[in-house]
Amino acid sequence: METSDSRHISVLSSADVQTIYDLARDLPQLPTWASGLAAGNLRLIDENRVELDSPMGQVLTTFTPRNDLGILDHIVVLPDGQEVLNPFRVVPHFLGSELIFTVRQGGDSEENFAADCQAVQADLERLVALAEGQG
């Protein structure tokens, strides 16, 4: 039986799903909360794709088209051409909403994987703080 080198990072919010989804899906707003992805200049290509400076260098990110299911999956094309799928969901929760982001280890060391997970946790917490501040 195969095991997965994935970790699901989950954060709860009192904001409703639509508020979180709309803020997360507002691509020009990525630098305000997604520091693990957006570290600087951003060029919107269309409603689903954005080219931006990241801690990894310049990347192209393509999001799943807008939907009513809270799916925010996105593919990041790294500077070396490698494509990384990032599953990301916002689902209803009795407190408001739950954000769930899957981090995959790939070929990274355990230390890098742990750092990636901590960075995603911090990004999701920033997104929640922004969304809750809007309500």
> In terms of residue numbers, what domain contains 81?
6-134
Q: What is the CATH number of the domain that holds 119?
A: 3.30.530.20
* Mean local confidence (pLDDT), 48-54: 93
pLDDT in the model for residue 4 = 60
Domain assignment present for residue 17? The answer is yes
Residue 108 pLDDT > 70: no
Report the distance separating Cα 23 and Cα 12, nearest Å.
15
Half-sphere exposure (Cβ direction) of 135: Cα atoms closer than 13 Å: 16
Assess whether pLDDT exceeds 70 at residue 122. Answer: yes
Q: What are phi and psi of 37, to 5 degrees?
A: -115, -45
Q: How confident is the model at residue 104, as a pLDDT?
A: 87
Residue 73 lies in a domain: yes
Average pLDDT over residues 55-61: 90
Say yes or no to pLDDT of 75 above 60. yes
